Structure formats: structure tokens, C-alpha cells
Amino acid sequence: MNILQQISVTGNLIEQVPNSDFSNFLGKTIQLLDSESKILDMIEDDLDFKGKAKKAVRIEDFRYLERYNCELLGNEFDSSDCTPISVEDLQLHQGRPRMSAKLIFLMILVQGYLGSLTNQKNFDFLKESRTFSLLLEAYGWKFPGRSTINENLNKVSLETHEYILKRQIQFLIGLNLDDFKELTIDSTSVSADSKWPTDSGIILALLQRSYHLGQKLDRFETENLRPGWCPRWLKEIKQLDFQINCLSGRQRKVKRLYKQLLNKAEKFAAHLSREMDRWNSNTDLYHLLPSKQAQAQTVIDVIAKDTTDVSRTILNARNRIFQGVSVKAKEKVLSISDPDAAFIKKGGREPVVGYKPQLVRSKQGFVVSLVLPPGSASDSGQFVPVIEQAIKNTGVLPHLVSADDGYSSQSARKYLLDKGVNIVNISGSKGKKIISDDDWNSDLYKEARRNRSAVESLMSIMKGCFGLGRMFVRGLDNVRRSMFQKAVAYNFLRCIYWFENPIEQT
């Protein structure tokens, strides 16, 4: 009996836990946690690692101040204590109380259920939830602030998220909800937290960011980049970008405006490049604390990369607009806010700038495996890795694996058959070419092709109910963590559904 069930049994009329989807969801998460204590150990290890990393920075700053004071007073500095710092070997001592690992786990799952908890609507729902209030009261927790929740959830590693999904699958096996013998794989396109790129918009955004960062270097007690004509050029480029976006089908005028924009952008980029060379030759960051040195270097690296990227984008725009030369998507700057986003185009669907996750669905509708490769990786190249991840998560060798035409690969199919999978079905014309006529026309393969479309319902639910269609975090690892949270939350709701509708299981 988990803690929510205990509250329901022992509570009075007012304290009774509501019978809702959210309370059932929290009940299942607690049930998993009660049977898998290693999850808490992994979360504690993640928190310790982040804490040790911060301590290592503080030690470096302290050593710097000691050395600086000795040099200032003319004393000899004892360098015997300046051995390289190993984060793993550091020890954490008593500090401020930190968020409970159990509460962090619950928040991870709640974020998968509701969506980002930095969203005011989701945060208010959680604060006003009677079930969650009773749960906090039962454990003796205070409701954490929004920034505290976000900070602690970001400390939980991708490996811990992967482990949570794996242990959840084992938990579902223990409940006899699925034998995971039949698997269906598919991919989908997911939009990044970024707007659709245009050459003029990318150039404007890169120049704006590099310019404004260059005017904040005085925060590190260094000289700012000299502005020169940049403010005027920036204003003119912004106006030209607006005019270009307002035109439709008037190619001659678009070319004229682009010519003006690219000329001004080249002057801007050239000025930034000269200023960066001057700044690097005249500036020494030694006088800063190591932590400040790292921050300053990060800013300088961003400006340098933006300057390189804007020059590359200008060249690509000239080739595309005036020479008619198309540029491959992987050579373009597609997003300012999320550099890991890629150009994704699936079949005849609307292309997106974002990600292409691979999901494996079991017969009873559970997400068994989720893999997010970088870029726009081909489905056929992901066929074996994703199925092997599913086997690793379940500990079960499936007897049937089904996929669509995009996964057509004779070598991948042969590998899975040799591994012991009885039926490896690939629907479509490409699949038919690599499957023997006897297998293709058999009842088992016909049934597999009929049932393959069930994975489309998974994609629809994940996008429509769990926000998989568009990410609100940036960076490959952050997107992966968010997707794992959504997958685990979906599996628990699917679990609750089967308990409420056992007759529908086949």
C-alpha cells in the first residue's frame, strides 16, 4: 500500500484523496519508486556530482586568490596544494538542505505528465492540486519554488532518465500487462523550440546576438568591442529583413533587398572580426577568477562562432539567391536558439526544424524504447540500435518486429533474424523486395502489416496529449530527457487504462 492509499484509508472526509487521473498517476509513480530504490540512489549521485563540480570551481577560485595575495605581498606561494582537482574524489559536507531525491523523481514524472513546470499554467495546476498537497504533507515536504524545481530537475542526468524507463518496463512486466513479444517501430518529426529559419532572419539574429554580447564584456573588467557603425547597420538590416518577409512572389524586388542586406551584413561581420582580433591581442583574462575566466571565454567563443556562422550564411544566401545553387541543410545555420536542431522531412509531410525520435511500441501500446539520434538520421540506420535498446529494456527477445518502408534494410533484417527474432516485417514496396514471397504472403506477415498502423495512434497521443510535437527545451540532451519524461508518463497512464479496461487486452 503506497502513501496515497494510506491517506485514503486513514484520512477523514475532507482529507480524502480525490479519485482522478492525476492521483492514479501519482499512485503508480510511488508504486514504482517503492520497488526500485536504486532510482533514488542515481538521483542522489547526480545531485552530488553537480554539487562537487560547483565545489571544484570554488576551490579553483580560492587557490587563485591565495596565489594572487602571495604575489601582492611578495611572499612565496606554496604550490604543493595545487594538484589537479578530481571532481569524483571531492567530498561534500553539510550545507543547505536540498530537495529530496524522492520529490525530484515525482517532479520528473509530473513534468512528463503536465509539461514543463516553468509554464505558469502547469505550475498553478500543481500548486492547486489537492492530491499533491496531501502527498507533500504526508512526506513532510514544503512546496518548492519554480526555479528550485527547474534547477534540480536539470541536474538529473540522461542516464538516470534512461534507467527510469528501463525499470518501469520491468515494473510493467511484473504486473503482467504485456509480454513485449511483439514490437512495432516508427519515427516522427518533432519541432524544436525555434522559429522557421530564413537567411535574412538568421543573419539578423546572429549579428544582434554577437553585437550585444560584445557590449557586455565590461562585466568581466575588460574592454567592450567598439561599436563603430554597427548600431546603424543593425537598424538598417532589421528594416530590410522586415521588408523581405512582407514580400511574396516578387523575386526581383526580393533580390534587390537581399543584395542591400548582404552587403551591410558583410561590413558588419568584417567589423566584428577585426574587433575580435584586436580584443584577443590586447586582452588578458588572467586577472579574473577562474570561474569568471570561464564565463568570459564562453562569451568570446559565442561571438567568434556567430561571426563565422554569419559569414557562412551570407555566402550560402548569395549562392542560393543570385547563383541558383542549392545548399545542403547540414551546411546551413538552422536555429540560433537550438544549434542541435536539424531539418526533418518525412514523406509528403510538412518539413520541420527539429528532431526525429525513434519509438518502439509493444502490442499493448507501451513505449518500450526511445532513441533520439543527432541530426536527421535515416530510419534504416536506426532499425537495429532501437530494437536492441528495446531488448535491453525488456530483457525479452521479441518474436515479431514490424516497421514501415523507411526501415527497409536487408542487412538489418538479416541481423535481427539471426539474433532469433522469428518475424521481421517491413511494410511497403521496399520491404517486399527483401522479403521472400513465401514469407510476404504468409498469414503471419499479413497480420503484421495490418497491425503496424497501431504505432500511429501512439504518435498521435504522444503529440496531442503529451506535447511531443514541439519541444520547449533546447539542446540534444535536454530534448532527450524531456522525451523520456513524456514516454514514462504515457506508460503509466496506459497502465492505468489497462487496469480500468482489462477486458480489452488481447
Mean of the per-residue pLDDT values for the chain? 89
pLDDT (mean) for 80-89: 71
The answer to whether residue 478 scores a pLDDT higher than 50 is yes
User: Could you give the angle at which helices 21-35 and 158-174 cross, rounded to 10 degrees?
Assistant: 100
| pLDDT on residue 13 | 42
pLDDT (mean) for 154-164: 96
| pLDDT on residue 67 | 79
The answer to whether residue 91 scores a pLDDT higher than 90 is no
Q: What is the residue-wise DSSP string for 298-354?
A: HHHHHHHHHHHHHHHHHHHHHHHHHS-----GGGS---SS-TT-EEE--TTSPPEEE
Residue 287's pLDDT band (boundaries 50, 70, 90)? confident
Distances (CA, A) of 310 to 132, 145, 241, 270, 353: 48, 39, 15, 10, 19
Buried b (16+ CB within 10 A) or exposed e, 172-193: beeeebbebebbbbbbbbbbbb
| Share above pLDDT 70 across residues of the chain, in percent, rounded to a whole number | 93
Residue 87's pLDDT band (boundaries 50, 70, 90)? confident
Quickly name the fold that domain 177-193+344-504 has: Nucleotidyltransferase; domain 5 (3.30.420)
| pLDDT on residue 415 | 95
Closest alpha carbon to 429 in 456, 454, 404:
404
Question: Are 26 and 136 within 8 A, CB to CB?
Answer: no
Residue 502's pLDDT band (boundaries 50, 70, 90)? low
**Stronger pLDDT, 436 or 74, i.e. the higher one:** 436
pLDDT (mean) for 283-311: 92
| pLDDT on residue 195 | 87
The answer to whether residue 150 scores a pLDDT higher than 80 is yes
Condensed to tens digits (0 to 9), the pLDDT of residues 95-133 reads 778 899 999 999 999 999 999 998 999 999 999 998 999
pTM of the model: 0.90
Question: Are 150 and 369 within 8 A, CB to CB?
Answer: no
| Share above pLDDT 90 across residues of the chain, in percent, rounded to a whole number | 65
Residue 12's pLDDT band (boundaries 50, 70, 90)? very low
Query: Vertex 483, ends 491 and 114: CA angle to 5°?
Result: 70
Q: Is 180 left (phi over 0), alpha (psi -120 to 50) or beta?
A: left
Q: How buried is residue 259: exposed, middle or buried, by Cβ count under 10 Å (0-12/13-18/19+)?
A: middle
Distance in angstroms (rounded) separating the CA atoms of residues 24 and 383: 35
Chain-centroid distance of CA 396 in Å reads: 28
Number of residues in the chain: 506
Own/partner long-range contacts of 242-245 (Cβ < 8 Å, ≥24 apart) = 244/198, 244/200, 245/198, 245/200, 245/201
Strands 352-355 and 342-344: antiparallel
Distance in angstroms (rounded) separating the CA atoms of residues 506 and 498: 11
Question: Are 193 and 472 within 8 A, CB to CB?
Answer: yes
| pLDDT on residue 366 | 96
Condensed to tens digits (0 to 9), the pLDDT of residues 182-240 reads 999 999 999 999 988 899 999 999 999 999 999 999 999 899 999 999 999 999 999 99
State the span(s) of the chain assigned CATH 3.30.420.10. Answer: 177-193+344-504
Query: Vertex 168, ends 444 and 391: CA angle to 5°?
Result: 40
Closest alpha carbon to 415 in 450, 448, 376, 388:
388
Residue 86's pLDDT band (boundaries 50, 70, 90)? confident
Strands, DSSP E only, in 338-468?
A: 342-344, 352-355, 358-362, 367-371, 400-403, 423-426
Tally: H helices and E strands in the chain = 19, 8
Distance in angstroms (rounded) separating the CA atoms of residues 180 and 172: 10
The answer to whether residue 76 scores a pLDDT higher than 90 is no
**Stronger pLDDT, 11 or 413, i.e. the higher one:** 413
Copy the grid coordinates of residue 53.
Answer: 563540480
pLDDT (mean) for 452-472: 90
Judged by DSSP in three states, 86 sits in coil
Residue 5's pLDDT band (boundaries 50, 70, 90)? low
Judged by DSSP in three states, 111 sits in helix
Helix (H) or strand (E) segment spanning residue 125: helix 120-128
Residue 17's pLDDT band (boundaries 50, 70, 90)? confident
The answer to whether residue 85 scores a pLDDT higher than 90 is no
Beta-carbon contacts of 439 under 8 Å, excluding residues fewer than 6 positions away, are 445
Own/partner long-range contacts of 204-207 (Cβ < 8 Å, ≥24 apart) = 204/237, 204/238, 204/241, 205/336, 206/306, 206/309, 206/310, 206/313, 206/333, 206/336, 207/233, 207/234, 207/237, 207/265, 207/268, 207/269, 207/272, 207/306, 207/310
| pLDDT on residue 97 | 80
| pLDDT on residue 281 | 93
